[in-house]
Amino acid sequence: MIRSWLGALCLAGLVGTAMAAPTRESFDPARSAASFGVKLRLSGDVPGQFKRVEGELEPEPDGRWRVQVRVDSRDLDLDGPGWMLRSTRSKSFLDVERHPEIRFTSEPFDRRLLAGGRPLQGQLSLRGRSRPVTFTLAPSACKRPGHACDIRVLGVVSRRSFGMTSQRMWLRDEVGFDFRVRLRKAAAP
């Protein structure tokens, strides 16, 4: 009797381990990137990069996943003249001193869709304002997105929607975002 009870207990432990709930997966900041493009009315795009992107994929109780992304806007680097960098960081544009963090929180999604590409809806918080946005999850180049290749998310937002109304004579309303995410390697048991 004791032997069968111990056997049942061991079997329950193995099943519980095999069916363990998925865990949160953090971004690897060293291999992840966030960039954006500001569109000039006369001379094309001016690309920029944020030096560090952080975030995680979080499991939801219903089996879907949610992504959280955080970017420090003070770490902005712009491929353009100095006056453009100053203007982009200023109170009339990103206002990096009062609003140092840009955040995106997705709606829950089925993780299998990371490989196929699809719209990714969520809330973007920028300059102290949160607005619903739809980005595009690009089709994956591998079978294990985030580990064997980048998870790539693209999108265009209206700067006017986030209170950036200055420089309308020189800048278009659209600001493009491009996130390339790698996940940290799982810790060995």
* pLDDT at res. 186: 63
* pLDDT at res. 141: 86
pTM: 0.79
Kind and range of the H or E run holding 82: helix 82-89
* pLDDT at res. 175: 85
* pLDDT at res. 170: 64
* pLDDT at res. 159: 82
How many Cα atoms sit within 13 Å of 180 on the Cβ side? 13
* pLDDT at res. 89: 80
Spans of the chain below 70 pLDDT: 1-21, 41-43, 166-170, 186-189
Instruction: Compute CA 109 distance to the chain's CA centroid, rounded to the nearest angstrom.
Output: 14
Question: Exposed/middle/buried for 21, CB within 10 Å: 0-12, 13-18, 19+?
Answer: exposed
Nearest to 168 by CA among 178, 158, 177, 155: 158
* pLDDT at res. 146: 93
Nearest to 26 by CA among 55, 52, 51: 55
The secondary structure of residue 183, as a DSSP letter, is B
- Main-chain phi, psi angles of 165, to 5 degrees: -105, -5
Q: Is 145 left (phi over 0), alpha (psi -120 to 50) or beta?
A: beta
Q: Which two tokens stand for residue 26?
A: 């953090």
**Strand intervals (E) in 28-160:** 33-40, 44-50, 53-59, 65-72, 76-78, 101-106, 118-126, 129-137, 151-158
